[in-house]
Structures are given as C-alpha cells and as structure tokens.
Amino acid sequence: MSEESLQNKRTICFTGLKRKERYTKLLILAVLTALTVMMCLTSCAGGAEEDTGAERIPILAYHKIVPAGTEFESSLLIAEDTFEEQMKYLHDEGYTTLTPDELCEWYDGKEFPEKSVMITFDDGYYGTYYLAYPIIKKYDQAATVFCIGHHIDEKTAEWDSNASEDHYIGADVIEKMREEYPRFRFESHTFDMHRKIDNEHPADIFTYDQMVEDIKKNEEYGFTYLAYPWGDHNETFEKALADNGYKMAFNYRPYYYATRSDNRYAVNRIKISGKMGMKKFKKIVSGKSKDHINPDV
C-alpha cells in the first residue's frame, strides 16, 4: 500500500471514528431528551392532584356566639364549643383563612390555596370578642366582624353570661385588636341603617345622599368593607359605597360560594347555622356543596 493510500485509509478511519462519536453523542442526547419528556409528563400527570388554586371561596357568615350549653332556637346563634369544633376542623385540615384584603387580591387574580375560606361575623356582638376571638387566635385564623356604628361605645362592657340584653364590641377593642391581632378585623355593617321602617328594608328606604351620610358617620373607624344589613342592597347602595372608598360589600342571600365573576359590591356569603352539624359544615367548606354553587356562573 502506498504511503498516500495508507494516509487516505487513516483519514477514512479517523472520519469514521468521529462519526461514531457523533452518533454516540446524538444517542445520549436523544435518551436525555426522552427522559426529560417522560419526567415532565409524569409531573404533569401528578399535577392533577396538586393545588390548582381556589376557584370558589366559601365565605362563612356567623352572627351571635353563645356560651357552650346555652339553649337556643334561632339559627343565627352558635354555641362556643360548636364554633370551636368547626375552627379546629379548618385548622387541622389545612384551610387558609382570608382577610378581606386577601379576598380582594384573589378577585384581582392572585392565587390562594384551593382550601381557602373567609370567616365573618355580623352585628358586632361582644361575644364575638369574648368567645370567638380566643378560638380564632388559638388556631391562628383570620376573621372579620361587621359592626353597626351606632352600637360602638367607647368601652366594651364586661362579659356577663347572664345578660338579658345585647352588648356590642366597643371602640377600645377595635383599637386594641388592630395592634394585637390585625387579622381579627373590624368592618362596617352601616352606622344606622340596620333597621326597617314599616317593614321596608334599608335599600328601599334610604336615598343615595342618606346612604353617603351614614357612611361618613363611620369614617372614624376607617372601614373599607361593608356587609349589607340582611344582605339587602341595590345599585344606589353599591354606588354610594364605591364612591366613598369602599372596596367590596357582602351579601347574605342567596347562600352561594364567592367566585371571581361576582359583583364586588354583592359578594355572596353562606350562612352557618349553629344547628347544621359537622357533616354539612365540612361539605360547605369543601367548596363542593351543590346547594351553594351558583348555577349561573
């Protein structure tokens, strides 16, 4: 073999080796790509079980908390121990409890865990502070109390379990909580529109100007959210709130879950009765209670 042909053979061999090396590299690359795709598919399939964020939020509406063992008929009352059982359940099951500001963020598109709820109390009875607050604090939860402005005295009355008349949370507690535990939040249930005249509801009685006047009387408390008395509202009421810096307002009936398509001045809440039992409560907070899914959204 001539020197030249030997050189050519070497070049061919060398080229062959290089090609082989390139094929090996390509093969490794192909295997790695396949593995990456497989890993991605596995994680995507697993994603079905992952938290996809809250689509419906149960906003729980409570009224009056009474000491354990109290006998009562009204579905607006709930015993302290029943309330604790519900809060413990939310805590142990990993539910996130939202403040109204967080609910606003959710409406704006921020994601919150699938297991998200909001806890609210109407009327501002002093039992909400003396009985419910220690439980809320114990389980590190957020809750919002809608107070009637003209019931807010300077000082909250001392707890009296035998009291026959209603007592309400005072300005001292509102101020103290804003420092001590801001996630126990106080907001408006109007100043003095929580009343009916000749059996007519506030939204049907008051004019826009009267509504604005009422809103201004609560200004000193810095409220920016409101729960309508009996849930009654109309466009005039909604406009009066929006024009005066209120960010959202809460409804009462129908008892549907909150969804992102809601009118923010008519956010739905679900009444929690002290007599409903844990089975029903668990169903409601699961977000899957058919009775509470708005059929129109």
Contact positions toward Zn ion, by CB under 5 A?
122-123
Give me the residue whose beta carbon is nearest to Zn ion: 122
Residue 51 beta carbon to Zn ion: minimum distance, rounded to whole angstroms: 34
The dihedral sign for the CA sequence 221, 225, 229, 235:
positive
Residue 267 beta carbon to Zn ion: minimum distance, rounded to whole angstroms: 16
Residue 251 beta carbon to Zn ion: minimum distance, rounded to whole angstroms: 12
**Cβ distance to Zn ion smaller for residue 122 or 232:** 122
What's the CA gap between 269 and 228, in Å, rounded?
11
**Cβ distance to Zn ion smaller for residue 56 or 63:** 63
User: Which two tokens mark 237?
Assistant: 């009421």
Burial per residue of 148-184, b for 16 or more beta-carbon CB atoms within 10 angstroms, e otherwise: bbbbbeeebeeeeeeeeeebbbbbebbeebeeeeebb
Cα Rg of the chain, angstroms = 30
**Cβ distance to Zn ion smaller for residue 56 or 64:** 64
What's the CA gap between 185 and 3, in Å, rounded?
94
**Cβ distance to Zn ion smaller for residue 84 or 122:** 122
Residue 154 beta carbon to Zn ion: minimum distance, rounded to whole angstroms: 22
User: Which two tokens mark 194?
Assistant: 């929580």
**Cβ distance to Zn ion smaller for residue 202 or 287:** 202
Residue 93 beta carbon to Zn ion: minimum distance, rounded to whole angstroms: 29
